[in-house]
A and B are shown apart, each in its own frame.
Chain A
Amino acid sequence: KAGVTQTPRYLIKTRGQQVTLSCSPISGHRSVSWYQQTPGQGLQFLFEYFSETQRNKGNFPGRFSGRQFSNSRSEMNVSTLELGDSALYLCASSLVGDSGNTIYFGEGSWLTVV
Chain B
Amino acid sequence: QQQVKQSPQSLIVQKGGIPIINCAYENTAFDYFPWYQQFPGKGPALLIAIRPDVSEKKEGRFTISFNKSAKQFSLHIMDSQPGDSATYFCAATSGGYNTDKLIFGTGTRLQVFP
List residues of chain A with CB under 8 Å of any chain B CB.
4, 31, 33, 35, 42-45, 48, 50, 55-56, 90, 92, 94, 97-108
B54 at the interface (CB under 8 A from A): no
Number of interface residues of B (CB under 8 A): 28
In the complex, chain A residues whose CB is within 8 Å of the CB of B105: 42
Most interface-central of B44, B93, B94 (chain A CB within 10 A):
B44
B12 at the interface (CB under 8 A from A): no
In the complex, chain B residues whose CB is within 8 Å of the CB of A94: 100
List residues of chain B with CB under 8 Å of any chain A CB.
31-32, 34, 36, 41-46, 49, 51, 89, 93-107
B101 near A48: Cβ-Cβ < 8 Å: yes
Query: Nearest chain-B residue to A104 (Cβ)?
Result: B46
From residue B58, how far is it (CB to closest CB) to chain A in Å? 18
Q: How far is the CA of A95 from the CA of B99 in the complex (A)?
A: 11
A103 near B99: Cβ-Cβ < 8 Å: no
Query: Nearest chain-B residue to A59 (Cβ)?
Result: B2
B32 near A105: Cβ-Cβ < 8 Å: no
In the complex, chain A residues whose CB is within 8 Å of the CB of B104: 35, 42-44
Assess A45 versus B101: contact at CB under 8 Å? Given A100-B51, A100-B93: yes
Q: How far is the CA of A108 from the CA of B44 in the complex (A)?
A: 9
From residue A19, how far is it (CB to closest CB) to chain B in Å? 19
Most interface-central of B43, B44, B89, B94 (chain A CB within 10 A):
B43
Query: Nearest chain-A residue to B32 (Cβ)?
Result: A100
From residue A114, how far is it (CB to closest CB) to chain B in Å? 21
Q: How far is the CA of A31 from the CA of B99 in the complex (A)?
A: 9
